[in-house]
Structure 1
Amino acid sequence: MFTGLIREIATVKSYQNNILTIQSKHKAKLGDSIAINGVCLTVIKVNSDGFDLELADETRSIIDESKLSGAVHMEPAMMMHDRFEGHIVQGHVDCVGTVSQITPRENATDFIITVDPKYIAHIIPKGSITIDGISLTVNDVGADYFRLTIIPHTLKETLMKNYKVGTKLNIETDMFARYIDHILSHRNPKKSMSWEEIDSLQMTY
C-alpha cells in the first residue's frame, strides 16, 4: 500500500525485456514493493545506485509505457509504523488519461484530464485520485473529464510542472468507489450508481 506522496524523483536508466532499471537514492531490498509513476512493482535486483523492477504483461497492457523513461515519481510501500498521509493508494493503474487543458490561476493551476467515460463513475467530486503516483483531490467531474487544482508546492516538488496539453497520465481511481460499485453492480447488475451514492457510501468508512 502507498500514500500517493512522492518521496523522490528517480531516474530510469533502462527499460527493456520487461525489466525497468531505476537510479535512486532509496535503499531498496529484494522483494520490496515500489511505485514508479503510480505503478506498483517488485524489486528483483538491488544495484549500487538503485534497483531493477519487473513488469508483468498485464501491467504493460494498461499503463502508458512512454512514462517509463527519464525522470519518474518514486514511492516505496508504506511500513506498518509509518504515519498515514495522502490517501490509500494500491499502485494498480486503472487507465491512462490525457491532459487536455492547463489554466494558471492566481495561486494554483487547473488541469483538465480526459479519460474513457467508463471510468468516470469511480472519479468523485472532492474525492481522491492518483495521477502518476501523486495523491490529489478531484474538484469537478464531467462526462469524460475531471478537473484538478494544483498548488505551487505540488508543481515544484513533482513532475507536474513539466506536463503539457497531450501529456499521458497513469490514473488510479478511488479504491472505495471501485469496491462499492463492484459489489452493488453484481447484486443488481441493471442498476448503476450515481456519484452521490458512491460518495455517501465511501464516507461511512
Structure 2
Amino acid sequence: MFTGLVREFGKVKSLQDATLTLLAKHKPQIGDSIAVNGVCLTTIQILDKGFMLELSEETQQHIALETYTDWVHIEPAMRLSDRLDGHLVQGHIDGIGEIAKIESNRIGTDFFIRTTPEILALCAPKGSIAVNGISLTINEILENTLRLTIIPHTLHSTLFKTYKVGMRVNIETDCLARLVRHFLQSPQEKPNPKLSWEAVDRILGSY
C-alpha cells in the first residue's frame, strides 16, 4: 500500500523482458514493494546504484509502458506507522489516460486527462485519484475528461513539470470506489435496485 506521494525520481537503465532496472538512491530489500509511476512492483535484485524489479507481461499490457524509458516516480511501500498525507493507493492500475490539455491558472496548473468511461464511472468530484503514482484531487469531471489542478509545489516536485499534451499516464482510481462498484454490479445485488444494509455491511467488511 502507498500514499501517492513521490519520494524520489528514478532513472530507467533498462527494461528487458520482465526486468526493469532503475538507478536510484533508495535502498530496498529483496522482496520489497515499490511503486514506479504508480505501479506496484517487487524488488528482485539490489545493485550498487539501484535495483531491479519484476514487471510481468500482464502488467506491461495494462500500463503506459512507453513512460518507463527515462525518469520515473518512486515510492516505497508505506508502513502502518506512517502518516497518510495523500490517500490509500494500491499500485493496481485501472487504465490509461492521455493528457488532452494543460492550462495555467492563477493558483496552479490544470491538467485535462482524457480517459475511458469505465474509469470515469469510478471518479467523483473532489475525490482522490492517482496519476503516475501521484495522489491528486479531481476538480471536475467532463464528458470524457478529468480536470486536475496541480499546485506549484506538486508541479515542481514531480515529473508533471515535464509532461506534455498527448502523453499517456497510468491511472488508479480510489480503491473504495472500485470495491463499492464491484459489489453493486455483482449478481447478488442485481435483483434489488436499492442498496440494502446487508450489502453495505458486506462492502465495508471487505474493505
> Do both proteins adopt the same fold according to a TM-score greater than 0.5, normalized to the shorter chain?
yes
Q: How far is 1:77 from its partner?
A: 0.2
Q: Give the letter for the 1:137 counterpart.
A: T
Structure 1 residues 53 and 189: CA distance shift in structure 2, 3 A: farther
In structure 1, the partner of 2:90 is 90
TM-score, reference length from structure 1? 0.91
8 Å contact 1:185–1:191 — kept in the other structure? Answer: no
TM-score, reference length from structure 2? 0.90
Q: Residue deviations 1:106-154, cap 9 Å, x none?
A: 1211111000112211011100000000000000012311100011111
- Alignment of 1:140 with 2:117, yes or no, is no
The number of aligned residues is 196
What is the correspondence of 1:34-113 to structure 2 with a 5 Å cutoff? 34-113=34-113
Structure 2 distance, partners of 1:192, 1:123, is: 21
Q: Give the letter for the 1:79 counterpart.
A: R
Q: Percent identity?
A: 49
Structure 1 residues 28 and 191: CA distance shift in structure 2, 3 A: same
- What SS does structure 2 have at the residue aligned with 1:122? coil
In structure 2, the partner of 1:154 is 154
Structure 2 distance, partners of 1:13, 1:189, is: 53
In structure 2, the partner of 1:126 is 126
In structure 2, the partner of 1:188 is 190
Structure 2 distance, partners of 1:130, 1:7, is: 15
In structure 1, the partner of 2:164 is 164
Structure 1 distance, partners of 2:8, 2:194, is: 39
Q: How far is 1:164 from its partner?
A: 1.1
Unaligned runs of 5+ in 2: 196-202
Q: Residue deviations 1:9-33, cap 9 Å, x none?
A: 1111111111000111001100000
In structure 2, the partner of 1:196 is none
Q: How far is 1:67 from its partner?
A: 0.9
Q: Give the letter for the 1:163 counterpart.
A: Y
Structure 1 residues 77 and 63: CA distance shift in structure 2, 3 A: same
Structure 1 residues 131 and 24: CA distance shift in structure 2, 3 A: same
Structure 1 residues 184 and 47: CA distance shift in structure 2, 3 A: same
Q: How far is 1:175 from its partner?
A: 0.6
Q: Give the letter for the 1:24 counterpart.
A: A
- After TM superposition, what 4+ stretches of structure 1 lie above 2 angstroms from structure 2? 189-193
Q: How far is 1:83 from its partner?
A: 1.7
Structure 1 residues 27 and 189: CA distance shift in structure 2, 3 A: farther
Unaligned runs of 5+ in 1: 194-200
RMSD: 1.9
